[in-house]
Amino acid sequence: MTKPNATAAHPLAPTVSLAALEPAVALGPLDGRYRGAVDSLVDYLSEPALNRMRLHVEVEWFIHLCVHSAVPGVRSLTSSELELLRSLPANFDSGSIAEHAAFERETVHDVKAIEYVIKAQIAGTTLEPLRELVHFACTSEDINNLSYALMIQGAVRDVWLPAASSLVEQLAYMARAAKSQPMLSRTHGQPATPTTLGKELAVVAHRLKRQLARIEAAEYLGKINGATGTFGAHAAAVPGTDWVEVSRSFVEDLGLTWNPLTTQIESHDWQAELYADMARFGRILHNLATDVWTYISLGFFAQVRGQGTIGSSAMPHKVNPIRFENAEANLEISAALLDTLGATLVTSRMQRDLTDSTSQRNIGVAFGHSLLAIDNVKRGLAGLDVNPAALEADLDANWEVLAEPIQSAMRAAAVAGVPGMDNPYETLRDLTRGRRIGADDVRTFVAGLGLPADATERLIALTPATYIGLAEKLVDEYLA
């Protein structure tokens, strides 16, 4: 057998390099095919967003040092000086990106380049004498941890939570609308006690709401305490300043929770907690996607609205549940990334290693796949109509599920001393297991049991479609 030539050219032998095209061709789908669904995250979790937030943190630290007279010789800043400083992150644009990139080529250090950008912008102004306040007593991680905390906080609160909350409300609306629609349950894939479609959707909405509450309550921690968390440089340079208080007030003024005890890095435990909750939300949503996919395959839902697209390239009749399948895959990718981030970020060798740096640059990817999945589920749900006829036919084909209420009524009668109610479970098992029975079979059987008249009347009137217990009430009372 001839072995392939490992050095052979690509069989297409392209003459045009896609990597050289302008505008740049995306390597990943989030920046290509699916960009429209995740655009809103770019302002929070992209590389330029990181550098813009670094500018913000550096500028605010400069201002904070002046406001608190933390370093001898500082003075109050004028309104025009404050405006100049804060305009740097506020007006961060393509020119700013290019300026930072030029400094980074010189420094080969992204945070140091931010320092140089600020010093260049205040050169020749009244702020130049204070230029060494930029990045004063800071290690890069002082700036980075605060920047990431603010970026993630914004992405969660302004983008991810609104999208996820909208989906849950959409699902809750569907649950309320279908609360009275009977549906045959399937446990272990087998016909089981009927429920309602709305109650089953309400279960998922309730689960997702719990996760949203946890995510809404997330803490975003930050620190600014120097190279190994000891305020060493601060205390050595200016021993008379209460640097612990200056640090605490600065972090809290940024809207974050102050972490007083760290190594060089903020420990990132809060990120792991947040990502675990987001991944769990995604896994519950994944469960919804697979269940809805199954309900569609059973004919319980018809995909009719907004589905004027090609379902299959070969079979004209098909409308495939692609939204839910797309969501499944993206939720799996997102969960894997969130799990990896949570596991990686809480560990660091001794007082610092750099594994968190490259890991955190993938936060936007993890959020992006989650946001894309949420968008797909929302679109998928919006294209569904309930098919009551299919649900009713499924129920009517499975009268044997009434074995449960009948044997339960026999048990109650036995406890009340009604004779002839021995071995109710076994009696119903012999009637129903491994065979199909219909309405006449059930009613004839119930009439001959010798139950009290009210119980007999109630069971004879019962059908699979009316055997839904308190499903409607549960939706009304517990789906907030």
Tokens of 52: 């813009």
Sign of the CA dihedral with 336 first, then 342, 345, and 346 last? negative
Terminal Cα-to-Cα distance of the chain (whole angstroms) = 67
Separation CA 313–CA 182 (nearest Å): 35
Q: Is 312 a catalytic residue?
A: yes
Sign of the CA dihedral with 142 first, then 147, 153, and 156 last? negative
Separation CA 279–CA 427 (nearest Å): 46
Owner of token pair 């679109």: 379
Surface-to-core class of residue 30, CB atoms within 10 Å of its CB (0-12 exposed, 13-18 middle, 19+ buried): buried
Q: Which of 312, 313, 359, 370 is catalytic?
A: 312
Contact 270, 221 (CB under 8 A): yes
Separation CA 467–CA 480 (nearest Å): 25
Q: Which of 10, 17, 76, 188 is catalytic?
A: 188
Q: Is 135 a catalytic residue?
A: no
Q: Quote the Cα angle for 81-62-49, to 5°.
A: 95
Contact 422, 462 (CB under 8 A): no
- Residues with a catalytic annotation lie at 188, 312
